[in-house]
Chain A
Amino acid sequence: DIQLTQSPPSLSASLGDKVTITCQTSQDIDEYIAWYQQKPGKAPRQLIRYTSTLVSGSPSRFSGSGSGRDYSFSISNVESEDIASYYCLQYATLSWTFGGGTKLELK
């Protein structure tokens, strides 16, 4: 299975900051990566698919980029409702894989 190394594991930000999370894959995934947000006690919610395509209803302050084995997810102008955990997921193969997650906290 393809392995995903997500960093950092945790992140502290002030309201209005820009934050970036990275995800490195063990092999080229041809941009088949999605990003999820999960709040405590809730199911995950997909924000971005195919590297940079914003899912309907996702705020435009969320963005994604990357290619090959290296991908990133950014939040510009962090808002209080963005405090959550974030996960990357690759779906390039029939067996999908999540990254380890990043917990975003308020500074």
Chain B
Amino acid sequence: QVQLKESGPGLVQPSQTLSLTCTVSGFSLTSYNVHWVRQPPGKGLEWMGVIWSGGNTDYNSALKPRLSISRDSSKSQVFLTMNSLQTEDTGIYYCNRNNYGGYVDYWGQGVMVTVSS
């Protein structure tokens, strides 16, 4: 069945780089788009970026200078890398599957990232 699971370090120091992995199963990354969404504690959702099925990427313009999304289709993994982390980057990070158009049908459980020294 379709599954997505985020993984990565729970704690990152300020100014360091965050690396997260979204490992998927039950579908091919060359057939579906994968988005990243984050949520600071007690706050709303923020769309971060996407890697389209064809391999192109698009980003939230506010995050674009320090955000990169890539994938290894053979390993069914999508990677998020964000540098120059600050405390306001603390939150839950989710990946999800975009089937077609605006249809998002599966989400990962999310991974909590805390930025603190």
Contact = CB atoms under 8 A, between A and B. Distances in A.
Interface string B60-103: 11100000000000000000000000000000001010000111
B50 interface: yes
Contact of A32 (B60, B96, B102, B109): B102
A42 B61 CA distance: 27
Interface of B: 35, 37, 44-47, 50, 58-62, 94, 96, 101-105, 107-110
Interface string A73-107: 00000000000010101010011111111000000
B24 to A, nearest CB: 14
B101 A98 contact: no
B103 A49 contact: yes
Contacts of A38: 45
Given A43-B94, A100-B44, A95 B105 contact: no
B103 A46 contact: yes
Nearest to A94: B58
Contacts of B61: 1, 95
B60 A1 contact: yes
Interface string A9-38: 000000000000000000000001110101
A38 B46 CA distance: 13
Given A32-B101, A101-B44, 11 more contacts: A1-B62, A33-B102, A49-B103, A55-B103, A91-B102, A95-B47, A95-B59, A96-B50, A98-B37, A98-B45, A98-B47
